[in-house]
Structure 1
Amino acid sequence: MNAKAISGIVVLVLGALLVGASLYTVNERQQAIVVQFGDPQRTVVEPGLHFKTPFVEQVIYLDKRILSLDVRPQEVLASDQRRLVVDSFARFRIADPLKTYQAARTETNASDLLEKIMQSSIRQVLANERMTAIVSGSRSELMKRISELTNERAASLGLEVLEVRLKRVDLPAANSQSIFQRMETERQREAAEKRAEGQEQALAIRAIADRKVAETLAEARREAAVIRGEADAEATRIFADAYGQDPEFFEFYRTLSAYRATLGKSDTRLVLSPDSEFFHLFLDPNGNGKRRK
Protein backbone atom coordinates (compact mmCIF):
# COMPACT_ATOMS: atom_id res chain seq x y z
CA MET A 1 0.00 0.00 0.00
CA ASN A 2 1.51 3.30 -1.11
CA ALA A 3 1.45 6.62 0.68
CA LYS A 4 -1.38 7.93 -1.49
CA ALA A 5 -3.70 5.13 -0.44
CA ILE A 6 -2.84 5.59 3.20
CA SER A 7 -3.52 9.30 2.92
CA GLY A 8 -6.91 8.56 1.36
CA ILE A 9 -7.86 6.24 4.19
CA VAL A 10 -6.81 8.83 6.77
CA VAL A 11 -8.89 11.47 5.01
CA LEU A 12 -11.93 9.15 4.98
CA VAL A 13 -11.53 8.34 8.65
CA LEU A 14 -11.17 11.99 9.57
CA GLY A 15 -14.17 12.85 7.40
CA ALA A 16 -16.26 10.16 9.12
CA LEU A 17 -15.22 11.45 12.51
CA LEU A 18 -16.01 15.00 11.46
CA VAL A 19 -19.43 14.06 10.16
CA GLY A 20 -20.15 12.00 13.29
CA ALA A 21 -19.18 14.92 15.50
CA SER A 22 -21.37 17.27 13.49
CA LEU A 23 -24.61 15.23 13.60
CA TYR A 24 -26.94 14.57 16.51
CA THR A 25 -30.51 13.31 16.85
CA VAL A 26 -33.42 14.42 19.00
CA ASN A 27 -36.25 11.91 19.50
CA GLU A 28 -39.90 12.64 20.25
CA ARG A 29 -39.40 12.44 24.02
CA GLN A 30 -36.52 14.94 24.11
CA GLN A 31 -35.64 18.56 23.59
CA ALA A 32 -32.07 19.81 23.32
CA ILE A 33 -29.93 22.86 23.98
CA VAL A 34 -26.78 23.40 21.95
CA VAL A 35 -24.08 25.07 24.03
CA GLN A 36 -20.64 26.33 23.11
CA PHE A 37 -18.18 26.27 25.98
CA GLY A 38 -21.15 26.30 28.39
CA ASP A 39 -22.87 29.22 26.68
CA PRO A 40 -26.31 28.31 25.22
CA GLN A 41 -26.51 28.89 21.45
CA ARG A 42 -29.94 27.58 20.45
CA THR A 43 -32.82 25.38 21.54
CA VAL A 44 -33.97 22.40 19.53
CA VAL A 45 -37.45 21.04 20.19
CA GLU A 46 -38.20 19.38 16.85
CA PRO A 47 -37.31 15.67 16.65
CA GLY A 48 -34.98 14.47 13.92
CA LEU A 49 -31.40 14.78 12.70
CA HIS A 50 -29.59 18.07 13.38
CA PHE A 51 -26.15 19.60 12.85
CA LYS A 52 -23.73 21.32 15.19
CA THR A 53 -20.21 22.62 15.06
CA PRO A 54 -18.00 19.62 15.71
CA PHE A 55 -15.78 19.56 18.76
CA VAL A 56 -16.92 23.07 19.70
CA GLU A 57 -20.64 22.76 20.41
CA GLN A 58 -22.18 20.27 22.79
CA VAL A 59 -25.77 19.05 23.08
CA ILE A 60 -27.67 18.99 26.42
CA TYR A 61 -30.79 16.82 26.37
CA LEU A 62 -33.82 17.53 28.52
CA ASP A 63 -36.97 15.47 28.85
CA LYS A 64 -40.01 16.67 26.93
CA ARG A 65 -42.56 14.42 28.66
CA ILE A 66 -44.69 15.09 31.73
CA LEU A 67 -42.59 14.29 34.80
CA SER A 68 -43.52 13.37 38.36
CA LEU A 69 -42.02 14.74 41.54
CA ASP A 70 -42.58 12.92 44.81
CA VAL A 71 -42.01 15.53 47.52
CA ARG A 72 -40.58 14.31 50.81
CA PRO A 73 -43.03 14.52 53.75
CA GLN A 74 -42.73 17.77 55.67
CA GLU A 75 -44.16 19.12 58.90
CA VAL A 76 -46.28 22.27 58.61
CA LEU A 77 -48.03 24.47 61.15
CA ALA A 78 -51.72 25.25 60.63
CA SER A 79 -53.36 28.54 61.61
CA ASP A 80 -54.63 27.00 64.86
CA GLN A 81 -51.04 26.08 65.80
CA ARG A 82 -51.61 22.38 65.12
CA ARG A 83 -48.71 20.53 63.53
CA LEU A 84 -49.35 18.33 60.51
CA VAL A 85 -47.22 16.01 58.39
CA VAL A 86 -47.96 16.56 54.68
CA ASP A 87 -46.96 14.12 51.93
CA SER A 88 -47.43 15.45 48.38
CA PHE A 89 -46.43 15.01 44.76
CA ALA A 90 -46.54 17.09 41.56
CA ARG A 91 -46.76 16.55 37.81
CA PHE A 92 -44.78 19.02 35.70
CA ARG A 93 -42.96 19.47 32.41
CA ILE A 94 -40.05 21.52 31.13
CA ALA A 95 -41.79 24.31 29.21
CA ASP A 96 -38.73 26.45 28.54
CA PRO A 97 -35.58 24.30 28.30
CA LEU A 98 -33.33 27.35 28.01
CA LYS A 99 -34.55 28.81 31.30
CA THR A 100 -34.26 25.39 32.93
CA TYR A 101 -30.67 25.02 31.72
CA GLN A 102 -29.74 28.53 32.81
CA ALA A 103 -31.36 28.13 36.26
CA ALA A 104 -30.56 24.51 37.09
CA ARG A 105 -28.34 23.06 34.33
CA THR A 106 -29.78 19.53 34.76
CA GLU A 107 -33.17 17.90 35.27
CA THR A 108 -32.10 16.60 38.68
CA ASN A 109 -31.23 20.08 39.90
CA ALA A 110 -34.49 21.41 38.47
CA SER A 111 -36.46 18.76 40.36
CA ASP A 112 -34.66 19.63 43.59
CA LEU A 113 -35.42 23.33 43.15
CA LEU A 114 -39.06 22.57 42.32
CA GLU A 115 -39.34 20.45 45.47
CA LYS A 116 -38.18 23.38 47.60
CA ILE A 117 -40.65 25.68 45.86
CA MET A 118 -43.47 23.20 46.51
CA GLN A 119 -42.57 22.84 50.17
CA SER A 120 -42.57 26.62 50.57
CA SER A 121 -45.92 26.94 48.77
CA ILE A 122 -47.49 24.21 50.91
CA ARG A 123 -46.34 25.87 54.11
CA GLN A 124 -47.60 29.27 52.95
CA VAL A 125 -51.06 28.06 51.92
CA LEU A 126 -51.70 25.69 54.83
CA ALA A 127 -50.49 28.24 57.39
CA ASN A 128 -53.70 30.20 56.73
CA GLU A 129 -56.03 27.22 57.26
CA ARG A 130 -57.26 25.38 60.34
CA MET A 131 -56.44 21.73 60.86
CA THR A 132 -60.04 20.58 60.31
CA ALA A 133 -60.18 22.31 56.93
CA ILE A 134 -56.88 20.77 55.88
CA VAL A 135 -57.66 17.24 57.01
CA SER A 136 -61.30 16.87 56.07
CA GLY A 137 -62.38 20.17 54.52
CA SER A 138 -61.96 21.68 51.07
CA ARG A 139 -58.73 19.90 50.19
CA SER A 140 -59.30 20.24 46.45
CA GLU A 141 -59.41 24.03 46.80
CA LEU A 142 -56.18 23.96 48.83
CA MET A 143 -54.42 21.82 46.20
CA LYS A 144 -55.55 24.21 43.48
CA ARG A 145 -54.11 27.19 45.37
CA ILE A 146 -50.84 25.36 46.04
CA SER A 147 -50.60 24.38 42.37
CA GLU A 148 -51.15 27.96 41.17
CA LEU A 149 -48.62 29.39 43.63
CA THR A 150 -46.05 26.70 42.76
CA ASN A 151 -46.56 27.19 39.02
CA GLU A 152 -46.10 30.93 39.41
CA ARG A 153 -42.79 30.48 41.23
CA ALA A 154 -41.56 27.63 39.02
CA ALA A 155 -41.93 29.74 35.88
CA SER A 156 -38.52 31.26 36.59
CA LEU A 157 -37.07 27.75 36.23
CA GLY A 158 -38.75 27.20 32.87
CA LEU A 159 -41.09 24.62 34.46
CA GLU A 160 -44.85 24.32 34.13
CA VAL A 161 -46.61 22.66 37.07
CA LEU A 162 -49.68 20.83 35.82
CA GLU A 163 -50.96 19.37 39.09
CA VAL A 164 -50.20 19.23 42.79
CA ARG A 165 -51.69 16.54 45.02
CA LEU A 166 -51.70 16.09 48.78
CA LYS A 167 -51.35 12.33 49.20
CA ARG A 168 -51.50 12.23 52.97
CA VAL A 169 -52.11 14.74 55.74
CA ASP A 170 -51.58 13.31 59.22
CA LEU A 171 -50.68 14.41 62.69
CA PRO A 172 -47.10 13.81 63.86
CA ALA A 173 -46.53 10.48 65.58
CA ALA A 174 -46.32 12.01 69.07
CA ASN A 175 -49.50 14.04 68.57
CA SER A 176 -51.29 11.05 67.07
CA GLN A 177 -50.45 8.95 70.12
CA SER A 178 -51.65 11.71 72.46
CA ILE A 179 -54.90 12.14 70.54
CA PHE A 180 -55.39 8.38 70.44
CA GLN A 181 -54.97 8.15 74.20
CA ARG A 182 -57.38 11.04 74.70
CA MET A 183 -59.92 9.40 72.41
CA GLU A 184 -59.46 6.08 74.22
CA THR A 185 -60.03 7.78 77.59
CA GLU A 186 -63.13 9.51 76.25
CA ARG A 187 -64.53 6.24 74.90
CA GLN A 188 -63.83 4.50 78.21
CA ARG A 189 -65.67 7.29 80.04
CA GLU A 190 -68.63 6.98 77.67
CA ALA A 191 -68.61 3.21 78.12
CA ALA A 192 -68.61 3.61 81.93
CA GLU A 193 -71.54 6.03 81.69
CA LYS A 194 -73.46 3.61 79.47
CA ARG A 195 -72.77 0.73 81.85
CA ALA A 196 -73.91 2.85 84.81
CA GLU A 197 -77.10 3.79 82.96
CA GLY A 198 -77.65 0.12 82.10
CA GLN A 199 -77.18 -0.93 85.70
CA GLU A 200 -79.59 1.78 86.85
CA GLN A 201 -82.20 0.63 84.36
CA ALA A 202 -81.60 -3.00 85.37
CA LEU A 203 -82.18 -2.13 89.05
CA ALA A 204 -85.38 -0.27 88.14
CA ILE A 205 -86.61 -3.22 86.07
CA ARG A 206 -85.75 -5.67 88.85
CA ALA A 207 -87.53 -3.48 91.42
CA ILE A 208 -90.66 -3.37 89.25
CA ALA A 209 -90.46 -7.13 88.67
CA ASP A 210 -89.97 -7.83 92.40
CA ARG A 211 -92.93 -5.57 93.24
CA LYS A 212 -95.11 -7.33 90.71
CA VAL A 213 -94.01 -10.72 92.08
CA ALA A 214 -94.80 -9.62 95.64
CA GLU A 215 -98.19 -8.25 94.59
CA THR A 216 -98.97 -11.43 92.65
CA LEU A 217 -97.96 -13.66 95.56
CA ALA A 218 -99.93 -11.56 98.04
CA GLU A 219 -102.99 -11.69 95.80
CA ALA A 220 -102.56 -15.44 95.37
CA ARG A 221 -102.18 -15.94 99.12
CA ARG A 222 -105.27 -13.81 99.73
CA GLU A 223 -107.30 -15.76 97.21
CA ALA A 224 -105.95 -19.03 98.64
CA ALA A 225 -106.91 -17.93 102.17
CA VAL A 226 -110.38 -16.98 100.98
CA ILE A 227 -110.80 -20.30 99.16
CA ARG A 228 -109.40 -22.21 102.13
CA GLY A 229 -111.74 -20.35 104.49
CA GLU A 230 -114.72 -21.06 102.25
CA ALA A 231 -113.65 -24.71 102.02
CA ASP A 232 -113.28 -24.97 105.81
CA ALA A 233 -116.68 -23.35 106.24
CA GLU A 234 -118.20 -25.77 103.75
CA ALA A 235 -116.52 -28.73 105.49
CA THR A 236 -117.77 -27.52 108.84
CA ARG A 237 -121.27 -27.17 107.43
CA ILE A 238 -121.11 -30.67 105.95
CA PHE A 239 -119.87 -32.08 109.26
CA ALA A 240 -122.59 -30.20 111.09
CA ASP A 241 -125.26 -31.53 108.71
CA ALA A 242 -123.91 -35.05 109.01
CA TYR A 243 -123.82 -34.78 112.82
CA GLY A 244 -127.37 -33.52 112.86
CA GLN A 245 -128.62 -36.44 110.79
CA ASP A 246 -126.99 -39.25 112.86
CA PRO A 247 -125.09 -38.09 115.96
CA GLU A 248 -124.21 -41.63 117.05
CA PHE A 249 -122.67 -42.56 113.68
CA PHE A 250 -120.83 -39.25 113.56
CA GLU A 251 -119.37 -39.89 117.04
CA PHE A 252 -118.42 -43.41 115.96
CA TYR A 253 -116.68 -42.01 112.86
CA ARG A 254 -114.82 -39.37 114.89
CA THR A 255 -113.61 -42.02 117.34
CA LEU A 256 -112.31 -44.25 114.53
CA SER A 257 -110.53 -41.26 113.03
CA ALA A 258 -108.89 -40.60 116.39
CA TYR A 259 -107.81 -44.25 116.62
CA ARG A 260 -106.32 -44.05 113.11
CA ALA A 261 -104.45 -40.86 113.92
CA THR A 262 -102.94 -42.15 117.18
CA LEU A 263 -102.61 -45.88 116.75
CA GLY A 264 -101.73 -45.86 113.05
CA LYS A 265 -98.12 -44.83 113.77
CA SER A 266 -95.64 -47.58 114.67
CA ASP A 267 -93.63 -45.34 117.02
CA THR A 268 -96.64 -44.17 119.06
CA ARG A 269 -96.84 -45.18 122.69
CA LEU A 270 -99.82 -44.44 124.92
CA VAL A 271 -99.87 -44.81 128.65
CA LEU A 272 -103.58 -44.97 129.55
CA SER A 273 -105.76 -46.65 132.10
CA PRO A 274 -107.51 -49.78 130.78
CA ASP A 275 -110.87 -48.29 131.58
CA SER A 276 -110.04 -44.99 129.87
CA GLU A 277 -112.83 -43.27 128.00
CA PHE A 278 -110.58 -43.33 124.92
CA PHE A 279 -111.19 -47.09 124.51
CA HIS A 280 -114.94 -47.02 125.13
CA LEU A 281 -115.58 -48.76 121.76
CA PHE A 282 -113.42 -51.70 122.83
CA LEU A 283 -114.91 -51.84 126.35
CA ASP A 284 -118.59 -51.74 125.34
CA PRO A 285 -119.87 -55.26 126.05
CA ASN A 286 -122.70 -54.78 123.53
CA GLY A 287 -120.32 -53.66 120.77
CA ASN A 288 -122.63 -50.84 119.70
CA GLY A 289 -119.97 -48.15 120.12
CA LYS A 290 -121.82 -46.07 122.71
CA ARG A 291 -120.01 -44.28 125.46
CA ARG A 292 -120.42 -45.52 129.02
CA LYS A 293 -122.42 -43.27 131.24
Structure 2
Amino acid sequence: MNKKVSSLALIALLALALLSQSIFTVNQMETAIVLQLGEPLDDVYKPGLHFKLPFIQKVIYFDARVLDYEASSREAFTVDKKAIVLDNYARWRITDPLQFYRTMRTLVGAQARLDDVVYSQLRAMVGAYTLSEVVSTQRAAIMTEVTEKVKGIMKGFGVEVLDVRIKRTDLPAENLRAIFDRMRAERERQAKQYRSEGEEESTRIRSDADRQKAIILADAARDSQIIRGDADARAAQIYADAYNKNKDFYAFQRWLEAMRTSFNENSKMVLSSPEALLKHLK
Protein backbone atom coordinates (compact mmCIF):
# COMPACT_ATOMS: atom_id res chain seq x y z
CA MET A 1 0.00 0.00 0.00
CA ASN A 2 2.78 2.39 0.93
CA LYS A 3 4.61 1.55 -2.26
CA LYS A 4 1.46 2.26 -4.25
CA VAL A 5 1.00 5.64 -2.56
CA SER A 6 4.66 6.51 -3.15
CA SER A 7 4.34 5.55 -6.79
CA LEU A 8 1.26 7.70 -7.22
CA ALA A 9 2.95 10.61 -5.51
CA LEU A 10 6.00 10.21 -7.75
CA ILE A 11 3.80 10.03 -10.83
CA ALA A 12 1.95 13.16 -9.69
CA LEU A 13 5.22 15.02 -9.16
CA LEU A 14 6.45 14.01 -12.57
CA ALA A 15 3.17 15.10 -14.10
CA LEU A 16 3.40 18.46 -12.38
CA ALA A 17 6.98 18.86 -13.54
CA LEU A 18 6.02 18.01 -17.10
CA LEU A 19 3.05 20.37 -16.90
CA SER A 20 5.17 23.23 -15.57
CA GLN A 21 7.63 22.67 -18.39
CA SER A 22 4.82 22.52 -20.94
CA ILE A 23 2.89 25.67 -19.97
CA PHE A 24 4.06 29.27 -20.36
CA THR A 25 2.31 32.63 -20.23
CA VAL A 26 2.90 35.80 -22.21
CA ASN A 27 1.82 39.04 -20.53
CA GLN A 28 0.23 42.08 -22.17
CA MET A 29 3.51 43.90 -22.78
CA GLU A 30 5.32 41.03 -24.48
CA THR A 31 5.39 38.65 -27.40
CA ALA A 32 7.26 35.35 -27.50
CA ILE A 33 8.76 32.73 -29.78
CA VAL A 34 9.69 29.12 -29.07
CA LEU A 35 13.09 27.61 -29.78
CA GLN A 36 13.30 23.90 -30.48
CA LEU A 37 16.80 22.57 -30.13
CA GLY A 38 18.08 26.12 -30.62
CA GLU A 39 16.10 26.83 -33.78
CA PRO A 40 13.09 29.19 -33.71
CA LEU A 41 9.70 27.83 -34.70
CA ASP A 42 7.49 29.78 -37.09
CA ASP A 43 4.83 30.79 -34.56
CA VAL A 44 4.75 34.09 -32.67
CA TYR A 45 2.88 33.90 -29.37
CA LYS A 46 0.62 36.73 -28.29
CA PRO A 47 -0.38 37.48 -24.67
CA GLY A 48 -2.10 34.52 -23.01
CA LEU A 49 -1.53 30.92 -21.89
CA HIS A 50 0.38 28.63 -24.27
CA PHE A 51 1.88 25.16 -24.40
CA LYS A 52 5.24 23.82 -25.55
CA LEU A 53 7.13 20.56 -25.50
CA PRO A 54 8.95 20.14 -22.22
CA PHE A 55 12.74 20.20 -22.05
CA ILE A 56 13.36 20.36 -25.81
CA GLN A 57 11.65 23.71 -26.38
CA LYS A 58 12.59 27.07 -24.86
CA VAL A 59 10.60 30.31 -24.76
CA ILE A 60 12.18 33.66 -25.71
CA TYR A 61 10.27 36.80 -24.69
CA PHE A 62 10.37 40.20 -26.45
CA ASP A 63 9.15 43.57 -25.25
CA ALA A 64 6.16 44.65 -27.37
CA ARG A 65 6.16 48.27 -26.11
CA VAL A 66 7.59 51.31 -27.87
CA LEU A 67 11.24 51.55 -26.84
CA ASP A 68 13.45 54.61 -26.55
CA TYR A 69 17.07 54.64 -27.55
CA GLU A 70 19.40 57.57 -26.83
CA ALA A 71 22.54 57.53 -28.92
CA SER A 72 25.90 58.78 -27.72
CA SER A 73 27.04 62.19 -28.99
CA ARG A 74 28.96 62.09 -32.26
CA GLU A 75 30.42 64.62 -34.66
CA ALA A 76 29.28 65.32 -38.20
CA PHE A 77 30.26 67.88 -40.82
CA THR A 78 27.91 70.22 -42.68
CA VAL A 79 28.18 71.13 -46.33
CA ASP A 80 30.04 74.33 -45.38
CA LYS A 81 32.68 72.24 -43.55
CA LYS A 82 31.49 73.11 -40.06
CA ALA A 83 31.79 70.44 -37.35
CA ILE A 84 28.73 69.81 -35.23
CA VAL A 85 28.06 67.42 -32.34
CA LEU A 86 24.75 65.55 -32.66
CA ASP A 87 22.88 64.19 -29.67
CA ASN A 88 19.93 62.18 -31.00
CA TYR A 89 17.40 59.59 -29.92
CA ALA A 90 15.04 57.11 -31.63
CA ARG A 91 11.69 55.50 -30.76
CA TRP A 92 11.16 51.98 -32.08
CA ARG A 93 9.45 48.66 -31.44
CA ILE A 94 9.77 45.01 -32.41
CA THR A 95 7.14 44.11 -35.02
CA ASP A 96 8.46 40.72 -36.19
CA PRO A 97 9.98 38.76 -33.29
CA LEU A 98 11.11 35.88 -35.53
CA GLN A 99 13.00 38.13 -37.93
CA PHE A 100 14.34 40.14 -35.02
CA TYR A 101 15.70 36.99 -33.36
CA ARG A 102 17.21 35.65 -36.60
CA THR A 103 19.00 38.93 -37.41
CA MET A 104 19.86 40.65 -34.11
CA ARG A 105 19.03 38.18 -31.31
CA THR A 106 18.99 40.68 -28.37
CA LEU A 107 18.04 44.25 -27.54
CA VAL A 108 21.70 45.12 -27.13
CA GLY A 109 22.43 43.97 -30.66
CA ALA A 110 19.39 45.84 -31.96
CA GLN A 111 20.45 49.09 -30.28
CA ALA A 112 23.98 48.78 -31.66
CA ARG A 113 22.62 48.23 -35.16
CA LEU A 114 20.11 51.07 -34.77
CA ASP A 115 22.87 53.38 -33.57
CA ASP A 116 24.99 52.67 -36.65
CA VAL A 117 22.09 53.13 -39.07
CA VAL A 118 20.80 56.35 -37.47
CA TYR A 119 24.26 57.92 -37.26
CA SER A 120 25.13 57.07 -40.87
CA GLN A 121 21.86 58.57 -42.13
CA LEU A 122 22.17 61.66 -39.94
CA ARG A 123 25.74 62.23 -41.05
CA ALA A 124 24.71 61.94 -44.70
CA MET A 125 21.78 64.32 -44.30
CA VAL A 126 23.70 66.87 -42.22
CA GLY A 127 26.44 66.85 -44.86
CA ALA A 128 23.91 68.10 -47.41
CA TYR A 129 22.97 71.27 -45.48
CA THR A 130 24.69 74.29 -43.99
CA LEU A 131 25.10 74.76 -40.25
CA SER A 132 22.34 77.36 -40.01
CA GLU A 133 19.95 75.09 -41.92
CA VAL A 134 20.70 72.12 -39.65
CA VAL A 135 20.04 74.02 -36.43
CA SER A 136 17.05 76.07 -37.64
CA THR A 137 15.29 76.13 -41.00
CA GLN A 138 15.72 72.55 -42.28
CA ARG A 139 15.85 70.66 -39.01
CA ALA A 140 12.31 69.24 -39.23
CA ALA A 141 12.78 68.19 -42.86
CA ILE A 142 16.05 66.45 -42.00
CA MET A 143 14.41 64.53 -39.16
CA THR A 144 11.50 63.41 -41.35
CA GLU A 145 13.77 62.17 -44.12
CA VAL A 146 16.14 60.42 -41.71
CA THR A 147 13.19 58.70 -40.01
CA GLU A 148 11.88 57.36 -43.33
CA LYS A 149 15.27 56.08 -44.44
CA VAL A 150 16.04 54.42 -41.11
CA LYS A 151 12.56 52.89 -41.05
CA GLY A 152 13.14 51.31 -44.47
CA ILE A 153 16.52 49.90 -43.48
CA MET A 154 15.44 48.52 -40.10
CA LYS A 155 12.27 46.92 -41.46
CA GLY A 156 14.31 43.97 -42.67
CA PHE A 157 15.42 43.34 -39.09
CA GLY A 158 11.87 42.99 -37.75
CA VAL A 159 11.93 46.50 -36.24
CA GLU A 160 9.68 49.50 -36.89
CA VAL A 161 11.31 52.87 -36.30
CA LEU A 162 8.66 55.38 -35.29
CA ASP A 163 10.71 58.54 -34.91
CA VAL A 164 14.27 59.85 -35.02
CA ARG A 165 15.04 63.22 -33.45
CA ILE A 166 18.02 65.43 -32.80
CA LYS A 167 17.78 66.22 -29.11
CA ARG A 168 20.61 68.74 -29.04
CA THR A 169 23.22 70.19 -31.37
CA ASP A 170 26.51 71.51 -30.04
CA LEU A 171 29.79 72.65 -31.45
CA PRO A 172 33.01 70.78 -30.62
CA ALA A 173 34.98 72.11 -27.67
CA GLU A 174 37.77 73.55 -29.85
CA ASN A 175 35.18 75.32 -32.02
CA LEU A 176 33.51 76.75 -28.94
CA ARG A 177 36.82 78.15 -27.72
CA ALA A 178 37.49 79.70 -31.12
CA ILE A 179 34.00 81.21 -31.22
CA PHE A 180 34.35 82.57 -27.69
CA ASP A 181 37.73 84.09 -28.62
CA ARG A 182 36.19 85.75 -31.69
CA MET A 183 33.26 86.99 -29.62
CA ARG A 184 35.64 88.39 -27.00
CA ALA A 185 37.76 90.11 -29.66
CA GLU A 186 34.64 91.56 -31.28
CA ARG A 187 33.36 92.87 -27.94
CA GLU A 188 36.75 94.41 -27.17
CA ARG A 189 36.80 96.06 -30.59
CA GLN A 190 33.33 97.46 -30.03
CA ALA A 191 34.30 98.64 -26.53
CA LYS A 192 37.36 100.47 -27.94
CA GLN A 193 35.20 102.04 -30.64
CA TYR A 194 32.62 103.16 -28.08
CA ARG A 195 35.36 104.58 -25.82
CA SER A 196 36.92 106.42 -28.77
CA GLU A 197 33.56 107.83 -29.82
CA GLY A 198 32.86 108.80 -26.19
CA GLU A 199 36.18 110.60 -25.87
CA GLU A 200 35.58 112.39 -29.17
CA GLU A 201 32.13 113.46 -28.03
CA SER A 202 33.52 114.52 -24.65
CA THR A 203 36.17 116.68 -26.33
CA ARG A 204 33.56 118.24 -28.58
CA ILE A 205 31.27 118.99 -25.63
CA ARG A 206 34.16 120.49 -23.61
CA SER A 207 35.24 122.63 -26.56
CA ASP A 208 31.69 123.84 -27.08
CA ALA A 209 31.35 124.56 -23.34
CA ASP A 210 34.66 126.51 -23.30
CA ARG A 211 33.54 128.48 -26.36
CA GLN A 212 30.19 129.30 -24.78
CA LYS A 213 31.98 130.24 -21.55
CA ALA A 214 34.29 132.65 -23.40
CA ILE A 215 31.33 134.17 -25.23
CA ILE A 216 29.36 134.58 -22.00
CA LEU A 217 32.34 136.17 -20.18
CA ALA A 218 32.98 138.52 -23.11
CA ASP A 219 29.34 139.53 -23.25
CA ALA A 220 29.33 140.04 -19.48
CA ALA A 221 32.49 142.19 -19.63
CA ARG A 222 31.03 144.24 -22.45
CA ASP A 223 27.75 144.74 -20.63
CA SER A 224 29.69 145.60 -17.44
CA GLN A 225 31.69 148.28 -19.28
CA ILE A 226 28.52 149.68 -20.82
CA ILE A 227 26.73 149.80 -17.46
CA ARG A 228 29.78 151.27 -15.73
CA GLY A 229 30.13 153.92 -18.43
CA ASP A 230 26.45 154.77 -18.20
CA ALA A 231 26.73 154.97 -14.38
CA ASP A 232 29.80 157.22 -14.58
CA ALA A 233 28.06 159.47 -17.08
CA ARG A 234 25.00 159.58 -14.88
CA ALA A 235 27.10 160.39 -11.79
CA ALA A 236 28.95 163.12 -13.68
CA GLN A 237 25.63 164.53 -14.81
CA ILE A 238 24.33 164.46 -11.21
CA TYR A 239 27.50 166.18 -9.96
CA ALA A 240 27.24 168.78 -12.69
CA ASP A 241 23.60 169.43 -11.92
CA ALA A 242 24.37 169.73 -8.21
CA TYR A 243 27.28 172.11 -8.91
CA ASN A 244 25.16 174.32 -11.10
CA LYS A 245 22.39 174.50 -8.46
CA ASN A 246 24.71 175.69 -5.57
CA LYS A 247 28.32 176.19 -6.48
CA ASP A 248 29.37 177.28 -2.97
CA PHE A 249 27.79 174.26 -1.29
CA TYR A 250 29.36 171.96 -3.88
CA ALA A 251 32.75 173.54 -3.26
CA PHE A 252 32.26 173.10 0.49
CA GLN A 253 31.29 169.44 0.02
CA ARG A 254 34.38 168.79 -2.11
CA TRP A 255 36.50 170.58 0.54
CA LEU A 256 35.12 168.28 3.27
CA GLU A 257 35.96 165.20 1.21
CA ALA A 258 39.47 166.53 0.64
CA MET A 259 39.93 167.21 4.35
CA ARG A 260 38.61 163.72 5.27
CA THR A 261 41.03 162.19 2.84
CA SER A 262 44.04 164.27 3.82
CA PHE A 263 43.79 164.19 7.60
CA ASN A 264 43.98 160.84 9.29
CA GLU A 265 44.66 160.17 12.99
CA ASN A 266 47.90 161.90 14.18
CA SER A 267 48.42 163.48 10.74
CA LYS A 268 50.59 166.52 10.32
CA MET A 269 50.63 168.96 7.38
CA VAL A 270 52.87 171.97 6.68
CA LEU A 271 51.16 174.69 4.60
CA SER A 272 52.94 177.64 3.00
CA SER A 273 49.63 179.37 2.51
CA PRO A 274 46.73 177.99 4.51
CA GLU A 275 44.20 180.24 2.94
CA ALA A 276 43.51 177.97 -0.04
CA LEU A 277 42.80 175.02 2.23
CA LEU A 278 41.16 176.75 5.24
CA LYS A 279 39.16 179.40 3.49
CA HIS A 280 35.87 177.54 4.06
CA LEU A 281 36.37 177.68 7.85
CA LYS A 282 36.11 181.47 7.93
Secondary structure in structure 2 of the residue aligned to 1:240: helix
Q: 1:40 to 1:229 in 2, by over 3 A?
A: same
Aligned position for 1:145: 145
TM-score normalised according to structure 2 size: 0.92
RMSD of equivalent CA atoms: 2.1
User: Is 1:168–2:162 an aligned residue pair?
Assistant: no
Between the two proteins, the alignment pairs up a number of residues equal to 282
Q: C-alpha separation between the residues in 1 aligned to 2:275 and 2:140?
A: 113
Q: 1:146 to 1:262 in 2, by over 3 A?
A: farther
Give runs of aligned pairs for residues 1-293 of structure 1, distance below 5 A.
2-263=2-263, 272-275=269-272, 280-281=277-278, 284=279, 287-288=281-282
Secondary structure in structure 1 of the residue aligned to 2:62: strand
* Alpha-carbon contact 1:92-1:163 (below 8 Å) kept: yes
Q: Deviations over 1:109-133 (max 9, x none)?
A: 1112111111111111111111111
Q: C-alpha separation between the residues in 2 aligned to 1:149 and 1:259?
A: 124
Q: C-alpha separation between the residues in 1 aligned to 2:139 and 2:17?
A: 58
Secondary structure in structure 1 of the residue aligned to 2:54: coil
- Structure 2 counterpart of 1:116, one-letter code: D
Q: 1:38 to 1:253 in 2, by over 3 A?
A: same
Q: C-alpha separation between the residues in 2 aligned to 1:52 and 1:46?
A: 14
Secondary structure in structure 2 of the residue aligned to 1:72: coil
Unaligned runs of 5+ in 1: 289-293
Unaligned runs of 5+ in 2: none
* Alpha-carbon contact 2:64-2:94 (below 8 Å) kept: yes
Q: Deviations over 1:133-188 (max 9, x none)?
A: 11233211111122112212211221111111111101111110110111111011
Secondary structure in structure 1 of the residue aligned to 2:134: helix
Q: Deviations over 1:53-76 (max 9, x none)?
A: 111111110100000001000011
- Structure 2 counterpart of 1:287, one-letter code: L
- Structure 1 counterpart of 2:170, one-letter code: D
- Residue 280 of structure 1: how far off its partner (Å): 1.6
Q: 1:239 to 1:64 in 2, by over 3 A?
A: same
- Structure 2 counterpart of 1:147, one-letter code: T
Q: Deviations over 1:232-265 (max 9, x none)?
A: 111111112222222332222223223334545x
Q: C-alpha separation between the residues in 2 aligned to 1:61 and 1:241?
A: 134
Q: C-alpha separation between the residues in 2 aligned to 1:159 and 1:262?
A: 128
* Alpha-carbon contact 1:135-1:170 (below 8 Å) kept: no
Q: What percentage of aligned pairs have identical amino acids?
A: 39
- Residue 205 of structure 1: how far off its partner (Å): 2.4
TM-score normalised according to structure 1 size: 0.89
Q: C-alpha separation between the residues in 1 aligned to 2:275 and 2:129?
A: 112
Q: 1:276 to 1:90 in 2, by over 3 A?
A: farther
Q: 1:39 to 1:231 in 2, by over 3 A?
A: same
